[in-house]
């Protein structure tokens, strides 16, 4: 998996207080844990989410306690192994510093050492070591696969016309032959016509979840209009066959947004559980029926609810009661399309199911 871009701009730590109404999240929600530590030494494998859970009751309060604005959320301050996150209890804020003797630090009010950073260019070696928001290994496959395609997106793409001679299907290290305009590309992903995803609320098709099969490398381009291109199967999730379609390999960089609540109310439903299973638990991926057109962006944190049952009122004749919707989990959005978003289940006390409610944190 590719890491961050080779040159990353390190923003200065902001000293301004984050306005609560900018994210529609009242300050009273962003409480520190009673047993929050005074400091945490950042080590390799840490994530923003994990560190946030050490200090805060809600991980999505991270921007407020660091004084971030909306632009900082999209391009967060990189935090590296070896640095220290300090809890400034007097100010109710977190601060970033270095171990004693590390240099480059001042002393802030309350004797909390902080690094005074100004915008500067960081080399590839440092940027690649910056901690991620959530565990990248869990979502890596989903960053390099389109997942959601429009209805006719595969219509005019190159297509496999034959497998290696004598074979019906092709797997890793075998040849396939394809026709179509490659637009100068050499590396492609292979997809099978997609499964429609229906909105649980309207029953309308809102996208097509692609069936990812693997990757191909061009070994010989066709010399004439009716000569097939030759490819080698470099990775294979499933066997490929005639009619499967090719798309260029996309950029798989992880957009490292800070966890944050949405800027507007969200009332969504779970559309699907990736892999076609009936239920999902922690660290599994689910899709919801809201996307970029609804104000969802990468890093949005939502809560999962089970719809409350309608029951008969045993204390009153011919009367029914709706039980409250029960909140049972937290969802971190990491990939966003127009009508659909994919999220990683971060914490649950029950299993997630298709049709469950997804809302803005309360």
Give residue-wise pLDDT tens across range 64-117.
888 777 777 776 667 889 999 999 998 888 888 876 554 444 434 344 444 443
* Same domain membership, residue 220 and residue 242: yes
Q: In 131-141, which positions are buried (b, 16+ CB within 10 angstroms) versus exposed (e)? A: bbbbebeebee
- For 223, the domain range is 148-248
Last residue of a domain, one of 92, 118, 139: 139
* Same domain membership, residue 133 and residue 182: no
- pLDDT of 174 reads 95
Lowest mean pLDDT among 42-51, 53-62, 211-220, 250-259: 250-259
Q: How many domains does the chain have?
A: 3
List, as one string, the DSSP characters of 83-133.
-EEEEETTTTEEEEE--TT--SEEEETTTEEEE----EEE-HHHHTTSPBS
Is there a domain that residue 256 lies in? no
Is there a domain that residue 260 lies in? no
Last residue of a domain, one of 102, 121, 139: 139
Q: What is the pLDDT of residues 144-187, one digit of tens each?
A: 777 788 777 888 999 999 998 878 899 999 999 999 999 999 99
Q: Of 289 and 142, which is predicted with more confidence? A: 289
* Same domain membership, residue 274 and residue 199: no
Last residue of a domain, one of 105, 139, 173: 139
Is there a domain that residue 259 lies in? no
How do 84-88 and 39-41 pair as beta strands? antiparallel
Is there a domain that residue 173 lies in? yes
- pLDDT of 128 reads 60
User: Considering the entire predicted model, what is its pTM?
Assistant: 0.73
CA angle (346 as vertex; 345, 352 as ends), nearest 5: 35
Q: Count of CB atoms within 10 A of residue 29's CB?
A: 16
* Same domain membership, residue 54 and residue 72: yes
Is there a domain that residue 227 lies in? yes
* Same domain membership, residue 111 and residue 199: no
Residue labelled with tokens 């609560």: 20
* Same domain membership, residue 228 and residue 334: no
Is residue 180 within 8 Å of residue 159, measured between CB atoms?
Answer: yes
Distance CA 289, CA 271 (A): 6
Distance CA 330, CA 359 (A): 10
Residue labelled with tokens 């490929």: 240
Average pLDDT over residues 217-226: 95
- pLDDT of 20 reads 34
């Amino acid at each position: 998996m590719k890491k961050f871009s080779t040159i990353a701009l390190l923003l200065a730590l902001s000293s301004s207080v984050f306005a609560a109404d900018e994210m529609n999240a009242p300050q009273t929600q962003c409480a520190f844990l009673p047993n929050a530590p005074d400091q945490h030494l950042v080590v390799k494998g840490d994530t923003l989410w994990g560190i946030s859970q050490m200090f805060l009751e809600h991980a999505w309060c991270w921007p407020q306690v660091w004084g971030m604005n909306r632009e900082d959320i999209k391009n967060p301050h990189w935090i590296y192994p070896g640095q220290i996150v300090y809890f400034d209890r007097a100010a109710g804020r977190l601060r970033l510093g270095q171990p004693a003797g590390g240099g480059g630090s001042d002393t802030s009010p309350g004797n909390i050492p902080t690094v005074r950073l100004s915008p500067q260019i960081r080399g590839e070696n440092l940027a690649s070591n910056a901690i991620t928001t959530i565990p990248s290994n869990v979502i890596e496959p989903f960053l390099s696969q389109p997942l959601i395609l429009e209805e006719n997106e595969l219509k005019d793409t190159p297509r496999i016309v034959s497998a290696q001679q004598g074979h019906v299907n092709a797997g890793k290290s075998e040849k396939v032959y394809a026709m179509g305009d490659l637009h100068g590309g050499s590396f492609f992903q292979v997809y099978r016509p997609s499964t429609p995803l229906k909105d649980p609320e309207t029953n309308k098709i809102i996208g097509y979840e692609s069936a990812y099969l693997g990757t191909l490398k061009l070994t010989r381009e066709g010399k004439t209009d009716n000569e097939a291109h030759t490819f080698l199967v470099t990775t294979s999730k499933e066997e490929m066959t005639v009619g499967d379609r090719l798309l260029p390999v996309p950029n798989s960089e992880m957009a490292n947004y800070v966890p944050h609540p949405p800027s507007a109310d969200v009332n969504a439903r779970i559309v699907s559980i990736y892999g076609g299973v009936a239920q999902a638990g922690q660290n599994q991926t689910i899709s919801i029926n809201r996307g970029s057109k609804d104000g969802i962006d990468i890093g949005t944190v939502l809560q999962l609810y089970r719809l409350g049952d309608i029951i008969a009122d045993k204390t009153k004749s011919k009367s029914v009661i709706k039980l409250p919707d029960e909140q049972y989990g937290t969802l971190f959005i990491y990939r966003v399309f127009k009508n659909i978003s994919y999220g990683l289940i971060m914490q649950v006390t029950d299993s997630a199911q298709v049709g469950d409610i997804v809302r803005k944190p309360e």
